[in-house]
């Protein structure tokens, strides 16, 4: 299971807050929209160096402010939303194991 980094999740939030599509951001930064998607979902490492600098400029921030926001980053998603997103990315065996764990947990609480 791939888990997005705090940096990737924050970059996605900054992008969506500015109402930029992945494609528009990619063009501004000089990368592919596929890279943007992979970075936001944890399938690629967040950018560094010049690419990070260009991305942050396109998103209206700088590296110092970005690093501070990463340290304090808390997503504004409910646990149910996070679980729903995780389920979409899980394989059938993982879903079965998750179901069994939750059923066992709920049975204990009865």
Given this model, what pLDDT does residue 1 score?
A: 59
pLDDT in tens, 12-64: 999 999 999 999 999 999 999 999 999 998 999 999 999 999 999 999 999 99
State whether 33 and 67 are in the same domain. yes
pLDDT in tens, 60-75: 999 999 999 999 887 6
- Whole-prediction pTM: 0.69
State whether 24 and 64 are in the same domain. yes
Domain that holds residue 83: 79-108
Percent of the chain with pLDDT over 90: 67
- pLDDT class for 89, splitting at 50, 70, 90? confident
Report the candidate in 48, 44, 83, 41 with the shortest Cα–Cα distance to residue 66: 48
| Residues 35 and 26: beta-carbon distance below 8 Å | yes
State whether 49 and 94 are in the same domain. no
The number of domains in the chain is 2
63 within some domain:
yes
21 within some domain:
yes
94 within some domain:
yes
62 within some domain:
yes
Given this model, what pLDDT does residue 52 score?
A: 96
């Amino acid at each position: 299971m791939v888990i997005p980094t705090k940096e990737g999740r924050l970059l996605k939030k900054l992008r969506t807050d500015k109402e930029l599509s992945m494609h528009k951001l990619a063009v501004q930064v000089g990368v592919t929209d596929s890279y943007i998607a992979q970075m936001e979902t944890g399938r690629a490492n967040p950018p560094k160096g010049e690419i990070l600098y260009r991305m942050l400029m396109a998103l209206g921030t700088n590296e110092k402010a970005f690093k501070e926001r990463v340290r304090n980053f808390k997503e504004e998603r409910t646990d149910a939303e996070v679980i729903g997103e995780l389920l979409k990315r899980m394989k059938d065996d993982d879903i079965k194991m998750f179901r069994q764990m939750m059923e066992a947990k709920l049975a204990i609480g009865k």
